């Protein structure tokens, strides 16, 4: 079973990437590393039913492997094309999961909500000053009318 897994991994690696490294890991699975894309794929046998666990992850800047970001289970005899399609989906999921070096949507700037809040505060102060000025002006007009009426 492990010999079949290694052969399948070599065929799969040739389909996925032109430059790759295939090796066995400590647990007896097979790892395909694509250094140029900073991604890895591992294939390991699950149980005795002829299924293979396919996991995908990133390769960090120092060359170490980050934990798997996506995984799926397929039958080992499902064929190279189907396994390659599953690996491409996993690699796409890995790229979308916020890996460094992948373009992300720009983050909203933090000062915009504060700027809106600042504008609201300025508008509030302007309204308060206007109302206060109008009240003071009304009081002065009322005082001058009272003074003129009382003869003072």
Strand order across the 30-34 sheet: 21-24, 30-34, 39-46, 51-58, 70-75
Is residue 145 scored above 50 in pLDDT?
A: yes
Q: Determine the pLDDT at residue 94.
A: 81
Q: Tell if the pTM clears 0.75, that is, is over it.
A: no
Mean pLDDT of the chain: 81
Q: Do 33 and 21 form a contact (C-beta atoms < 8 A)?
A: yes
pLDDT tens-digit series, residues 43-94: 888 876 788 888 888 888 777 777 777 888 888 888 888 988 988 888 888 8
CA distance 85 to 53: 14
What is the separation, in whole angstroms, between the first and last Cα of the chain? 113
């Amino acid at each position: 079973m492990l010999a079949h897994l290694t052969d399948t991994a070599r065929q799969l690696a040739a389909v996925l990437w032109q430059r790759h490294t295939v090796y066995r890991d400590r647990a007896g699975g097979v790892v395909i590393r694509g250094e140029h894309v900073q991604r890895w794929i591992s294939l390991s046998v699950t149980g005795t039913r002829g299924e293979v666990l396919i996991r995908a992850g990133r390769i960090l800047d120092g060359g170490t492997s980050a934990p798997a970001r996506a995984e799926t289970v397929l039958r080992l005899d499902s064929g190279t094309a189907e396994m390659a399609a599953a690996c491409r989906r996993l690699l796409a999921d890995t790229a979308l999961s916020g890996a460094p070096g992948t373009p992300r949507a720009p983050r909203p700037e933090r000062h915009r909500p504060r700027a809106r809040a600042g504008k609201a505060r300025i508008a509030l102060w302007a309204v308060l000053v206007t109302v206060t000025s109008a009240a003071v002006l009304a009081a002065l007009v009322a005082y001058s009318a009272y003074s003129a009426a009382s003869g003072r």
